[in-house]
Amino acid sequence: MGNKRVVIALGGNALGKDIEEQKIAVSKTAKVIVDLVIQGLDIVITHGNGPQIGMIQDAMDNLVVRYHIYKQVPLPSSIAMSQGYIGIDLQNAIKYELYSRGIDKKVSTILSQVEVDKDDPAFHHPTKPIGRFMTKEEAEQNEAHGIPCMEDAGRGYRIVVASPMPKRICELLTIKTLLNAGHIVIACGGGGMPVVNENGRLVGVNAVVDKDNVSCLLAQNLDAEQLVILTAVEHAALNFGKENQVWLSDISIEDAKRYVAEGHFAPGSMLPKVEASIRFAESKPGRRSLITLLDKASDGLAGKTGTVIQG
């Protein structure tokens, strides 16, 4: 293996909330990615799709209500749609940034399926927030119609679906082949399209795989040296949002586990990022996880900022 391999998980702030915002956001994101390419890193990019999947699913639901000739579009199909349009915008923005700097490097987007266990207990306890933020009243109306909702880290209420753990990335060999050929690869968008294996046939299931969990699995499978989770804050924190808030810098795996057990990180927000970071850091000696802002990615990789978890 030549250059250092890094898996970069992009949060929603790297993508925007709608198509117009996305065009602007991915242009900025592309500059950060190409800055890292110049440093000699081999990069695989994953990304979330919370607002986008909500937008697509709402549109598809409204289509069925308005035109009875159409049937309900399942969530996995909407996830695949989000992978396609987010991926192509991100891919084209990175390609243009490379072109602008005179760098000859390929960029590829892979629509990715992620196998989960049909007996995963997560299917009985939906926890993954998706879609737009709602008021408490809107959430209560949804609950009355059997649609589970939850409050999401003080930002409002959102619909929640099951979030099973990823077991296998179905397109892993394709991702490896493109990475080995020198491509920047965009994969496992929105956590990947969740599927179960029914005697060799992959069947989509109504769930969302957490993108940080699948990024951890992907980084392990690619034998990456670093997992970088880019989010809306420069550091993870203890007592986030409280008077006694403490930003975290370099922490050990053991300390990170203790902070998780003490309940410092919000479920559906920072908690999965820290848990995924721990799993990657402890999966092999020398592996390192970084949580920081998009704009601080380069400084974070240089050890100047962010929350770093390592053995």
User: Which tens digit of pLDDT belongs to each residue from 186-226?
Assistant: 999 999 999 999 999 999 998 999 999 999 999 999 999 99
Active-site option among 12, 105, 167, 257: 12
As a dihedral over the C-alpha atoms of residue 257, residue 260, residue 262, residue 266, rounded to 10 degrees, the angle is 170
The dihedral through the CA atoms of 259, 208, 22, 47 has a sign that is positive
Buried b (16+ CB within 10 A) or exposed e, 206-236: ebbbbbbbbbbbbbbebebbbbbbbbebbbb
User: How, if at all, do strands 226-231 and 4-10 pair?
Assistant: parallel
The tens digit of pLDDT for each residue in 270-296 reads: 999 999 999 999 999 999 999 999 999
Active-site option among 48, 213, 273, 300: 273
The tens digit of pLDDT for each residue in 75-108 reads: 899 999 999 999 999 999 999 999 999 999 999 9
Higher pLDDT, 241 or 91: 91
Instruction: pLDDT band for 127, please (50, 70, 90 cuts).
Output: confident
The average confidence (pLDDT) of the chain is 92
Buried b (16+ CB within 10 A) or exposed e, 146-180: eeebbbbbeebbbbbbbbbebeebebbebbbebbe
With a cut of 70, say whether residue 1 has pLDDT above it.
Answer: no
Query: Phi then psi for 87, rounded to 5 degrees?
Result: -60, -45
Quick one: how many helices (H) and strands (E) in the chain?
9, 17
Higher pLDDT, 51 or 217: 217
Position 109 scores a pLDDT of: 98
Query: Considering only CA atoms, which of 69, 108, 116, 74 is closest in space to residue 91?
Result: 108
Residues 6+ apart with CB under 8 A from 95: 107
With a cut of 70, say whether residue 267 has pLDDT above it.
Answer: yes
Instruction: Give me the residues paired with residue 134 across strands.
Output: 157
User: How, if at all, do strands 307-310 and 41-47 pair?
Assistant: unpaired
Q: What is the mean pLDDT of residues 11-22?
A: 82
Q: Catalytic site residue 2? A: no
Are 299 and 306 within 8 A, CB to CB? Answer: yes
Q: What is the mean pLDDT of residues 230-249?
A: 91
Q: What is the mean pLDDT of residues 18-36?
A: 92
Position 2 scores a pLDDT of: 55
Position 299 scores a pLDDT of: 93
The dihedral through the CA atoms of 226, 229, 230, 232 has a sign that is negative
Active-site option among 16, 48, 54, 128: 128
Q: Catalytic site residue 131? A: no
Position 160 scores a pLDDT of: 87
Length of the chain, please?
311
Between CA 248 and CA 253, with CA 249 as vertex, the angle to 5 degrees is 85
Q: Catalytic site residue 62? A: no
User: How, if at all, do strands 113-115 and 193-198 pair?
Assistant: parallel
With a cut of 50, say whether residue 266 has pLDDT above it.
Answer: yes
Active-site option among 11, 13, 189, 190: 13
Are 90 and 109 within 8 A, CB to CB? Answer: yes
Q: Catalytic site residue 197? A: no
Q: Catalytic site residue 257? A: no
Active-site option among 16, 50, 192, 211: 211
With a cut of 80, say whether residue 153 has pLDDT above it.
Answer: no
